[in-house]
Amino acid sequence: MTDKTASGDVRLAGISKHYGSFTAVHPLDLTIPQGSFFALLGASGCGKTTTLRMIAGLEEPSTGTVSLGDREVTHLPPYKRPVNTVFQSYALFPHLSIYENIAFGLRRRGIKSVKKQVDDMLELVQLGQFAQRKPHQLSGGQQQRVAVARALINHPQVLLLDEPLGALDLKLRRQMQLELKRIQTEVGITFVHVTHDQEEAMTMADTVAVMNGGRVEQLGAPAELYENPRTTFVANFLGTSNLIEASVESAGTDVVVSASGTTLRLPGQRCSTTPRAGGKLLVGVRPEKISLVHADEEHTVAAGRNKIAGRIADSSFIGVSTQYVIDSRVCPELEVYAQNIERDARLVPGAEVVLHWNPEHTFGLDAAMDIDAGVETVEESA
């Protein structure tokens, strides 16, 4: 991300991990700035947890180095690293009280008077009255907060979170996302968060690294990744994208493409590849950017907008919005999310419609990439 080497940055230089002939993580360079909330996002088996474990010292990299600030820690055992982990399913010590669980790290470092710090930490995670209970007497959400407190009390340089919210139900997960974000802002420690939940990553992190097959596909702020995906995997894995195969008519500041006889425009700078006239391009647009009008109202669509004619194949009402699936010559299944402000009663399955959107909201991807990359994995983990 940045070339400056701040004192507390986590720097991974060319680290990789092989298990026999299987490569879990391909050589990877990554700098995580001090104080940031960084998310490693990907489907299971993409190497995100292995990367995290290499930072924690629980896994030794096959190649490359791990540095914390100016200090190289590649071969330091976990107990010598100024890093703490919140484990998936928490790994709380079942034989110790909540108080002793939280005090564990302090006591191991020979700190005698732990009471004040433990009490403060119990306060931070709002578990004061549970100090003397055993972990199994707490609910999942409470155990999760103990796991966070147990790690944070050591004031680590970096806090690693391995799918910390995976075991919680949806409502609690939303609550804990905000809670973790609040704690991070309060303590200012670097958080590295591993998750397969794209919404979770986007809600919480300042910077998201999307991983796929042991490589980082793209790295950036959530909005940047969402608006300007550079690969089909990122386009499909983060939210939903309509990807249309098209051939380039003319390239330049404005790129003009044609897909099955329909002409579409997009800004040249929003292409992740350099389009060439006569070449192919994948044209993408997010479902919520698209507006929908009945075919009879086509004349109301302002000039200069991208337009596609089609027929509503399916619609589902989900409260704040209605999700339509549109069948068109250009693309068999285009998704459109329309806000339920003024609903046109004619927009029912079977109706002829026109889709239109601002060309600025279109992005272009290299047509050589798999158009369905990242689609199925989303369904699996959802």
Instruction: State the residues that interact with other proteins by CB under 8 A.
Output: 56-58, 77-79, 83-85, 87, 89, 91-95, 104-105, 108-109, 150-151, 154
Residue with smaller CB distance to other proteins, 153 or 355: 153
Minimum separation from the CB atom of position 368 to other proteins (A)? 42
Minimum separation from the CB atom of position 290 to other proteins (A)? 46
**Minimal CA–CA distance to 236: which of 370, 37, 135, 125?**
370
Residue ranges of E strands in the chain = 10-19, 22-32, 37-41, 63-68, 71-72, 83-86, 158-162, 190-195, 207-212, 215-220, 242-250, 254-259, 262-267, 280-285, 291-294, 306-317, 321-328, 334-339, 352-357, 363-365
Residue with smaller CB distance to other proteins, 136 or 171: 136
Residue with smaller CB distance to other proteins, 59 or 217: 59
Minimum separation from the CB atom of position 71 to other proteins (A)? 16
Minimum separation from the CB atom of position 177 to other proteins (A)? 23
Minimum separation from the CB atom of position 137 to other proteins (A)? 13
| Alpha-carbon distances, residue 294 vs 6, 47, 262, 306, 341 (angstroms) | 56, 46, 18, 16, 16
Hey, is 11 helix, strand or coil? strand
The CA-based dihedral angle spanning residues 71, 77, 83, 89, taken in that order and rounded to the nearest 10 degrees? 160
Minimum separation from the CB atom of position 147 to other proteins (A)? 9
C-alpha angle 25-34-226 in degrees, rounded to nearest 5: 60
Residue with smaller CB distance to other proteins, 97 or 322: 97
Minimum separation from the CB atom of position 91 to other proteins (A)? 4
Residue with smaller CB distance to other proteins, 93 or 317: 93
Backbone angles phi, psi at 197, to 5 degrees: -95, 110
Residue with smaller CB distance to other proteins, 105 or 287: 105
- Specify the DSSP element, H or E, that contains 152: helix 140-152
**Minimal CA–CA distance to 39: which of 218, 208, 177?**
208
Residue type, 239: G
Residue with smaller CB distance to other proteins, 77 or 268: 77
